[in-house]
Amino acid sequence: MYRNWIKAIGCVVLLAQAALPAFADTWPTRAIKLVVPYPPGGSTDVTARVIAENLRPLLGQSVVVDNRPGAGGNIGAEAVAKSAPDGYTLLMATSTHVTNMSLYKNLPYDFVQDFSPVAQITFIPNVLVVGQSLPVNNLAEFIAYVKSGKYAVNYGTAGNGSSQHLSSALFNSMVAGNMVHVPYKGGAPATADLLAGQIQAYFGPLVEVLPHIRGGKVKALGITTKKRSPLLPEVPTIAEALPGYEVALWNAILAPGKTPADIVTKLNEAIVRVLSLPEVKARLAEQGSESVGNSPAEFAQFIGAEVGKWKELVRISGAKIE
């Protein structure tokens, strides 16, 4: 009787295991939605569409980009955080979402707890540019100019707490300068005023200012990431003059929290394959982006380190949004 009871228990266990859904074996069976929490046409949107179109042949299903802009990326992020964790709704996140953890007093989601990291897509540099009329030609001269206290140096940004703001504030803090923050409602009007001579400096995303650099309308003085950009190999990193300076923007794909691990793994493997394609690397490089493609575990560890780094940058900038 005891043996029969053991056999019965064993059969129940086997049946239960067989009944468990093998998510990765069947997923995906329908289109996947990739939420971009910014307007169409920006660098994050362009990157998302490059990834989406190349995932289709690997996953056998369409990956549809869904733009949900607003509140500094928080509207789209909240929508994904509250979606079913079934692998059919994903978020194209950026470093801004980690910044928002310290920038906003109350967020409707927890970026660390409410998402499953899938893969980091790229690193993206900002570049310090100044107007052609400013009497400086390199980073050392600009640092001396800012530190002298003799001149008004206004820097534009895409808004309070934006990457442009944090990049500039860190620089100003490290050189003990006197630069003044002039926030705009986006990078385009800030760039326009730089070209018009209304502001003197702008730490803008490379993709935004590259045409003006190549057209000789602004002077590029320094890259905010650790490595020089292949698109501007002659422009030094700011860290070459200010050791320890680094502001590296990034974007990545995340799923809602509690998404099955096998779906996350399958999606990660597909994204890494996409990022290894020469044509994808070339398209991302055109924007000044460096492709990454790490594992979910590596990406989760990266996010953990980013939280403290961006919190300190927000503190230095003094930025707050209620």
Q: At residue 39, does pLDDT exceed 60? A: yes
Please report the pLDDT score of residue 43 as a whole number. Answer: 79
- Sequence letter at residue 286: E
78 and 55 co-located in one domain: yes
Q: How far is CA 199 from CA 165, 192, 193, 251, 265, in A?
A: 14, 9, 6, 28, 47
From 240, 274, 309, give the residue that closes a domain. 240
Stretch among 37-41, 118-122, 150-154, 179-183 having the lowest mean pLDDT: 37-41
Rounded to two decimals, the pTM is 0.83
Q: Is 163 domain-assigned?
A: yes
How many angstroms separate the CA atoms of 169 and 318, rounded?
9
**Per-position DSSP letters for 105-148, written without gaps between them:** S--SS-TTTSEEEEEEEEEEEEEEEEETTSS--SHHHHHHHHHH
Whether residue 156 sits in one domain with residue 232: yes
Q: Domain range for residue 36?
A: 27-123+250-317
Residues 118 and 255 in one domain: yes
Q: Both 156 and 232 in a single domain?
A: yes
Structure tokens that stand for 142 in this block: 């600009």
Assess if residue 20 is contained within a domain: no
CATH number of the domain at 157, please: 3.40.190.10
Q: Which tens digit of pLDDT belongs to each residue from 110-147?
A: 999 999 999 999 998 999 999 999 999 999 999 999 99
Q: Which residue is it, tokens 């100003």?
A: 172
- Does a structural domain hold residue 1? no
Question: Would residue 19 count as lying in a domain?
Answer: no
Of how many residues is the chain composed?
322
Residue 10 lies in a domain: no
160 and 201 share a domain?
yes
Q: Which of 288, 277, 260 is nearest to 53 (CA)?
A: 277
Q: In this structure, are 104 and 142 located in the same domain?
A: no
pLDDT tens column, 47-101: 999 999 999 999 999 999 999 988 889 999 999 999 999 999 999 999 999 999 9
Q: Which of 240, 263, 298 is the last residue of a domain?
A: 240
79 belongs to a structural domain: yes
Task: Let me know whether 234 and 137 are in one domain.
Answer: yes
Confidence of residue 297 (pLDDT cuts 50, 70, 90): very high
Q: What angle do CA 123, 103, 252 make, to 5 degrees?
A: 25
Regarding whether 46 and 118 lie in a shared domain, the answer is: yes
Band of residue 159 on the pLDDT scale cut at 50, 70, 90: confident
Which 8-state DSSP code applies to residue 104?
B
Residue 229 within a domain? yes
- Token pair recorded at residue 262: 């096998």
CB–CB of 163/208 below 8 Å? no
Helix (H) or strand (E) holding 28: none
What pLDDT score was predicted for residue 32?
98
* Inter-axis angle of helices 139-148 and 163-175, nearest 10: 70
Distance from chain centroid for Cα 100: 12
Q: Are residues 89 and 149 in the same domain?
A: no
- Tally of structural domains, the chain: 2
For residue 92, is it within any domain?
yes
pLDDT exceeds cutoff 60 at 177: yes
User: 149 and 56, same structural domain?
Assistant: no
Domain harbouring 262, CATH code: 3.40.190.150
Element (H, E) at 314: helix 296-317
**Could you tell me if 79 and 152 lie in one domain?**
no
| pLDDT of amino acid 320 | 81
Single residue among 187, 210, 240 that ends a domain in this structure: 240
- Judgement on whether residues 230 and 133 belong to the same structural domain of the protein: yes
